[in-house]
Chains A and B, each alone.
Chain A
Amino acid sequence: QSVLTQPPSVSGAPGQRVTISCTGSSSNIGAGYDVHWYQQLPGTAPKLLIYGNSNRPSGVPDRFSGSKSGTSASLAITGLQAEDEADYYCQSYDSSLNSGGVFGGGTKLTVL
């Protein structure tokens, strides 16, 4: 059971917009800690996609965007492309745990 809750799967057709939610609590996202997102393409290592709730590292297309409100965060992908098919993970910090960070369980994005 992950501290951050994500839907196991989402899907969309090419060109569509999809969102992936990440729900936390008052000891993590709701406490004001930043949310970060990672993309893991099949068979590869995770890659930083969004940091600090809504910032994109150099090289990440602006089709990817992040937002945070209250105890939740969201990743939005517009203009869906076949190469976006991957697992997506949110990550934050939890003040009730002595850890370097907590991850969501991951969401599998399928491009139909």
Chain B
Amino acid sequence: EVQLVESGGGLVKPGGSLRLSCAASGFTFFNTWMSWVRQAPGKGLEWVGRIKSYSDGGTSDYAAPVKGRFTISRDDSENTLYLQMNSLKTEDTAVYYCTSYDFWSGFYQDWGQGVLVTVSS
């Protein structure tokens, strides 16, 4: 059974930093592209960024609103995905979902339960 379990969310002040983790199991993590998708309270889904498998280069891409502030990384030895969030803004307040990404067809296959990040003074 595929499991994606996020952790690390919480309340942080504007300008602060937070690191989210996503523990993966039940599939070949090292060979899978991974993404973060967020959902602001009462709003729709927004792609945050993705990281390729190391066999496909291991590079990451980001949505314009977070580029330069957020960094996605992965530890294949621990089957864990990370999202380092710096210079946080109030508009980054959202539930953050870890997802696996099918790069052939471009869909988000499996989703974690989500973790809430609240940016407020």
Contact = CB atoms under 8 A, between A and B. Distances in A.
Interface residues of A, number: 26
A24 interface: no
A44 B95 CA distance: 11
A98 interface: yes
A18 interface: no
A98 B47 CA distance: 11
Interface stretch (A9-17, A47-55, A71-79): A47-55
A46 to B, nearest CB: 6
A103 B107 CA distance: 11
B26 interface: no
B102 A98 contact: no
Contacts of B109: 48, 51, 57
B26 to A, nearest CB: 14
Contacts, number: 68
Chain B contact residues: over half helix, strand or loop, or mixed?
A: strand
Given A45-B112, A51-B102, A100 B35 contact: yes
B106 A47 contact: no
Contact of A99 (B61, B102, B112): B61
Size bracket, chain B contacts: 20 to 34
Contact of A104 (B44, B63, B105): B44
A38 B107 CA distance: 10
A103 B50 contact: no
Interface in A23-59: 33-34, 36, 38, 44-48, 51-52, 57
B44 A48 contact: no
A89 B45 contact: yes
Contacts of A57: 109
Contacts of A89: 44-45
Given A36-B105, A36-B108, A100-B35, 15 more contacts: A34-B107, A44-B113, A45-B111, A45-B114, A46-B108, A52-B105, A52-B107, A91-B45, A91-B108, A100-B50, A100-B63, A102-B47, A103-B45, A103-B47, A105-B44
Interface of B: 35, 37, 44-47, 49-50, 61, 63-64, 97, 101-102, 105-114
